[in-house]
């Protein structure tokens, strides 16, 4: 265990995993803990959050698990209050990892689906920031890391209008935060994962292909480096952005995509 984030309280929304294994959120929670952070792992599925905490504690880290739905302000506020009680009142890092997809363009997707995606992917980050920013302002310091997507700036080949729109909104929402709060010691950055090999793609993307094997091959081939990224690639970028190594970096939308954003 290193100490780049020693004794900093990291509040993570979406710290579990949608299936057995390790996705972007769980990998980041583990990476934060390995660097000395005190992790508050929040997930809509409490069992998933508990599993992340079990893994952190097995490595000697400190963490607590909470259940919370980022689309519900009362649950977000309760999670923030519980996090402050758990680790002495501070929140040094806010990490928003929640994201869902729903296939369909404006004609095919229902209004209800559009609103659910927007509330999960964009309004959720607004609600967590609304609850945490006063704490960070009082401290005079804080780091916000929001997980967006390459889909925020590029068409990725999937027919999911609400996902494109919500992630693009998250990017600019974060840029606005960065500039509004820069003089108050608060940094805000975005990570834009490209094509990643996570449990989530098997749950939400695989239906766009003839088979799982076809999905894996097509996604690997679409990456300039010839292979999809891994959850640890996102985790390491998050650790950097949350640490003092990035103390002069704010308002950045960082692609972690093996160079895919460079393509037309």
Cα–Cα distance measured from residue 199 to residue 231, given in angstroms and rounded to the nearest whole number: 10
Q: Measured between alpha carbons, how far is 25 from 182 in angstroms, rounded to an integer?
A: 26
**206 in Cβ contact with 215 (< 8 Å):** yes
Q: Which one is catalytic: 32, 160, 163, 181?
A: 163
Token representation of residue 32: 């934060």
- Residue 163 annotated to the active site: yes
171/166 Cα distance (integer angstroms): 9
Neighbours of 259 (CB within 10 A): 11
Q: Find all residues with CB under 8 Å of 221, minimum gap 6, and list them.
A: none
Specify whether the CB–CB gap between 128 and 96 falls below 8 A.
yes
Distance CA 99, CA 117 (A): 8
* Residues 86 and 57: beta-carbon distance below 8 Å: no
Phi and psi angles of residue 191, each rounded to the nearest 5 degrees, phi first:
-110, 130
DSSP H helical ranges for 8-45: 24-34
Using alpha carbons, list the distances in angstroms from residue 66 to 13, 97, 246. Answer: 9, 15, 28
Residue 178: partners with Cβ closer than 8 Å, 6 or more residues away: 187, 188, 189, 250, 251
Question: What residues are annotated to the active site?
Answer: 163
């Amino acid at each position: 265990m290193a100490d780049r984030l020693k004794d900093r309280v990291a509040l993570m929304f979406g710290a579990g995993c949608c299936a057995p294994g390790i996705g972007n959120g769980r990998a980041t929670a583990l990476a934060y803990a390995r660097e000395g952070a005190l992790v508050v792992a929040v997930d809509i599925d409490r069992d998933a959050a508990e599993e992340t905490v079990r893994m952190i504690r097995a490595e000697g880290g400190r963490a607590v698990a909470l259940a919370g739905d980022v689309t519900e302000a009362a649950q977000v506020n309760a999670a923030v209050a519980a996090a402050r009680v758990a680790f002495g009142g501070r929140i040094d890092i806010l990490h928003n990892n929640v994201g869902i997809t729903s296939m369909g363009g404006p004609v095919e997707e229902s209004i209800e689906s559009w609103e659910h995606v927007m509330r999960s992917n964009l309004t959720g980050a607004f609600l967590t920031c609304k609850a945490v920013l006063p704490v960070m302002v009082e401290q005079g310091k804080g780091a916000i890391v929001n997980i967006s997507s390459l889909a925020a700036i590029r068409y990725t080949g999937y027919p999911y209008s609400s996902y494109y729109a919500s992630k693009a909104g998250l990017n600019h929402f974060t840029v606005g935060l960065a500039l509004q709060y820069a003089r108050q010691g608060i940094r805000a950055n975005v990570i834009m994962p490209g094509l990643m090999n996570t449990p989530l793609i098997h749950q939400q993307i695989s239906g766009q292909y003839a088979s799982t094997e076809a999905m894996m091959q097509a996604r690997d081939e679409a990456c300039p480096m010839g292979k999809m990224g891994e959850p640890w690639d996102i985790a390491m970028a998050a650790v950097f952005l949350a640490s003092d190594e990035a103390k002069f970096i704010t308002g950045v939308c960082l692609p972690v995509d093996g160079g895919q954003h460079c393509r037309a």
